[in-house]
Structure 1
Amino acid sequence: MTYVHQPAAENRPVRLGLIGAGWIGAFHAESVAHRLPNARLDAVADPALAAAEALAGRLGVARITADPADVINDPEIDAVLIASPVRFHSGLIAAAARAGKDVFCEKPGGRTVEELDEALAAADAAGVNVQFGFNRRFAADFAAARKLIDDGAVGTPQLMRSLTRDPGTAAGIASPERIAPGTIFLETLIHDFDTLNWLNPGAVPLKVHAVADALVAPEAKAGGLLDTAVVTVTYSNGAIAVAEANFNALYGYDVRGEVFGSAGMVAAGGPQASSAVSYTAAGIASDTVRLNIDLFHDAYTAELARFVDGVAARCAGGAAVGTPAPGGVDARNALAVALAAVRSHETGVPVEVSAVARLRPAEPGLERTGQHAGPGA
C-alpha cells in the first residue's frame, strides 16, 4: 500500500518520527524537543520497546512502537529520523520514501553501494528529500575552512588530512566484542572520507590504500576488530589525502581536518573544549571534550535544523524544494571510499574506487534531493 504525504498546514511545527532510540537517536530526539522550536517529535520506534518507552517518557512523546513501519506509514508524520543500526538504513530510507516522507538518516546510508542506490532511487521516484548525518559539515570551524577553500585561500589542494581519535575509556575500548568488523571504515572513518571529499570540491576519489590493526585491543582482533587505521586517498585533481582513526585517545575526543595547497593552508578542529589554557607550576593545560555529542553538539543541532527547514519548505510547497547537502551523491561517494578501504585492508594492496562504484562530485543541483550517480553514471 502507498501512503501519500499531505502538505503541512502553515505555522505548525514539522512533525517528526524517530526510528532508533539508542545513543545518537536519543540525542537527536532531545535536539528536536529542546532546541528546534519549529519541530516536534511525535513518535518513537525501536524494536527494543523499553528504550523507546524510556526516551518517550523523558521527552513527553505520546506514541511509541516496536515497529518502524508504524511511524513510516503514519499520515500525521511529516518526516522520519533514522538512527537505527546500519544494516537497516537503506531499507528504511526506501520504505519512508515510498510513504512520501522526507528522511534524515545517520551515516552510512547502506552497507553496499548497491543497496544505497536502491534506496536513493526510491527517494528520487517519490520526490522526497534525503539528508545524511555528516555532522562535521555543520561545525563552525569546518564550515569556515570550506568557505576559505571556496574563496581560494589554499589554491589547488595538494595535501589533505582528516583524523578521528575516539577517547574510548580510561581502560581501553568499551565492549570491543560488540564492535562489528569494518566499523572503523564504515562508521568512524566514513566521516573523514566525507570531510575530505567535501573539502576538495569538484574532485572525486580515485584510489584508496588502507592499513589497519587492533593495537588498542589486540585480544579482540580474532573477532574482526580493527581499532587503528590509516588510509590514503588520491583524488582526480592530484590531491593526496590521509585519513586516520584510533579508538582510544586518552586525552579526549580529537577530530581535525587540514588542507594544504598551492596558495596556502586551512585547518579545523581539535580536542580542546575551549581556547582557554592554564599555565601553572604543573605545566600548561586545557580542558578536552570526551563525547561526540559534546564536541559536535552545535553541529548535530544545526544539521537537524537545516533538515527541518527543508521539510517545512517541501510541506508548504508540496514538492522537494531545497533540502541541502549532504545528500545522496555525498553519501554514495563516502561509502564507496569506505568500501574500497575495507577491500584494500583485506587484500593488502591499493584499490581503485571505480572497482567499487563510478562516482561524480556532488553538484548543488543534485544535493537538494536523493539524486545520485547510479552504476552507469
Structure 2
Amino acid sequence: MRTDHGLQVIRIALIGAGRIGTMHAGNVARRVPAAELAAVVDPRVDVAESLAAKYDARAYPDIDDVLKDPEIDAVAITSIAKVHSELVVRAAEAGKAIFCEKPASLELAEMDRAIAATKQAGVVFQVGFNRRFASDFAAAHAAVVNGEIGTPQLMRSVTRDPGWPAGMTHAAGIKPWTIFRETLIHDFDTLLWLNPGGRPVEVYTRADALVAPQYKETGLIDTAAVMLSFDNGAIATAEANFSALYGYDVRGEVFGSKGMVTAGRHANTPMLHYGEHGISQQTLRSDEEMFTDAYVAEMSQFADAIRTGSAPPVTGEDARNALRVALAAMKSHEERRPVQLDELG
C-alpha cells in the first residue's frame, strides 16, 4: 500500500473523458490529497490517450481493463448519463469504490439496481451533487440544521446556464427531459438537503421552450419552474433556464420563522469597473469557475470515505430521492397536473 504524508494513496480510474471528466481528472491528479489518476477509459481512444498522457496515467478503450486490475481502488464515472447505472453495477460487482456524476440513473428501477449492487458488494458509492460541498451552500445547510432560521417555510433553488446573444446554437442536440434529470436534479437535491427532516409530497411543473421554441416539437424544454410541497409545511420552488446572458447563475435560499439564509454568487472577482457606461463587474461563466473548490472537496471526501470505510457524504439514496422528484416533475409537465410523490413509489 502506497502512502502520501501518512495517507493511503487512492488509485482512481476515470470512466469518460468529456468536459466534466477532464475537469475531474485534473483535480484527482493535482489537487486531491493522496489520490492518483491511474487510468482513463473512453471509447474514443485518441481522447483517452491525450488526457491520460497529461497526468502520466494509462489509457484504455474499455472499462473491463480497469475493473479487473487489482491495483485500481475506485472508479469515477463521468460518461454520458444513460449508462451511469449500468457502469455503477459493473464497478460494484468488481469490488471498486464508485464516484458517479449526477444523475446516477435516469430511471428509479435502474437506480434501485445500482444501490442494491453497491450494498451487496459493500463498496463506497458517492454521487456528484457538488453544491453540497461549496462553502456558501454548506454554511447555509449548517445554519438550517442548527435551527438558526427556525422552521423552513419558503425555499428556492435556481440554475440558469450561461447563454450567448446568438442564442442556443446547440439546442438541436439537447435530449428530451434534460432540464429535469440533468439540470434541475441539482436543485431538487439542494432543496431536499436544505430541508432536513422534510419529505416532499407533491410536485407541480410549468415548463416550455422559450429560448429556442423552434425545437419544441423535438422535445426540447429549456425553461422550467417546479413547485415542491413538503410534509413539514415548507413550500419550495426550483427553476432553470438554459440561456442567462449575464453568466452562470446558481443560487439557493431558505426563509424560515427566525430568518433567512442565502447561497450563491455571480461575480468572479470583487473588483468593480467604474467607466463611462456605469459600474460593471465580471461574472462567472461556468460551473467549473463557480464550484472549483467544491469539485475538489467532493472528490477528497470520496477518497477519505474509501480509506476509513465510512459512509460517503452523498449516497445512492440521496440520488434516488432527487431522481424521484425529477420524474414527478416530468409527469406533472406531461399531464399538466400536480403529482403526488407516492405515485412514483
| TM-score, normalised by the number of residues in structure 2 | 0.96
C-alpha displacement at 1:324, in angstroms?
2.6
- 1:155-207 deviation line (CA, Å, top 9, x unaligned): 11010000000013332224111111000000000000000000000111111
Indicate conservation of the 8 Å contact 1:309/1:323, yes or no.
Answer: no
2:343 is matched with: 355
SS in 1 for 2:244: coil
Indicate conservation of the 8 Å contact 2:66/2:72, yes or no.
Answer: yes
Out of 208, 211, 235, which is 1:240 matched to?
Answer: 235
2:47 is matched with: 51
Whether 1:163 aligns to 2:151 is: no
Structure 1 9/56 Cα, relative in aligned 2: closer, same or farther at 3 Å? closer
C-alpha displacement at 1:10, in angstroms?
4.7
- Is the strand fraction higher in 1 or 2? 2
Indicate conservation of the 8 Å contact 2:163/2:246, yes or no.
Answer: no
1:343 is matched with: 331
Percent identity reads 54
Question: What is the one-letter code of the residue matched to 1:43?
Answer: A
1:39 is matched with: 35
2:257 is matched with: 262
Stretch deviating more after TM superposition (164-173 or 208-217):
164-173
Runs of 4+ in 1 over 4 A off after TM superposition: 8-12
C-alpha displacement at 1:332, in angstroms?
0.6
What CA distance in whole angstroms lies between the structure 1 residues aligned with 2:23 and 2:317?
26
Stretch deviating more after TM superposition (323-332 or 74-83):
323-332
1:136 is matched with: 131
1:153 is matched with: 148
Indicate conservation of the 8 Å contact 2:161/2:242, yes or no.
Answer: yes
Q: 5+ unaligned residues in a row in structure 1: which ranges? A: 1-7, 314-320, 358-377
What CA distance in whole angstroms lies between the structure 2 residues aligned with 1:121 and 1:328?
9
Whether 1:21 aligns to 2:17 is: yes
Question: What is the one-letter code of the residue matched to 2:54?
Answer: R
What CA distance in whole angstroms lies between the structure 1 residues aligned with 2:154 and 2:106?
29
Structure 2 matches for 1:216-227, cutoff 5 A?
Answer: 216-227=211-222
SS in 2 for 1:153: coil
Indicate conservation of the 8 Å contact 1:307/1:323, yes or no.
Answer: no
1:95 is matched with: 90
C-alpha displacement at 1:152, in angstroms?
1.1
Aligned pairs, number = 342
Question: What is the one-letter code of the residue matched to 1:328?
Answer: G
Indicate conservation of the 8 Å contact 2:200/2:229, yes or no.
Answer: yes
2:105 is matched with: 110
What CA distance in whole angstroms lies between the structure 2 residues aligned with 1:325 and 1:351?
29
What CA distance in whole angstroms lies between the structure 2 residues aligned with 1:70 and 1:215?
45
What CA distance in whole angstroms lies between the structure 2 residues aligned with 1:280 and 1:194?
41
2:181 is matched with: 186
- 1:245-286 deviation line (CA, Å, top 9, x unaligned): 000000000000000011111001022113333444422221
Structure 1 174/38 Cα, relative in aligned 2: closer, same or farther at 3 Å? farther
Indicate conservation of the 8 Å contact 1:306/1:323, yes or no.
Answer: no
Out of 299, 303, 323, which is 2:298 matched to?
Answer: 303
Indicate conservation of the 8 Å contact 2:103/2:319, yes or no.
Answer: yes
Computed over aligned residues only, the root mean square deviation of the Cα atoms, in angstroms, reads 1.3
- 1:33-65 deviation line (CA, Å, top 9, x unaligned): 11123001111111122221121122221x211
1:362 is matched with: none
Indicate conservation of the 8 Å contact 2:13/2:74, yes or no.
Answer: yes
Indicate conservation of the 8 Å contact 1:310/1:323, yes or no.
Answer: yes
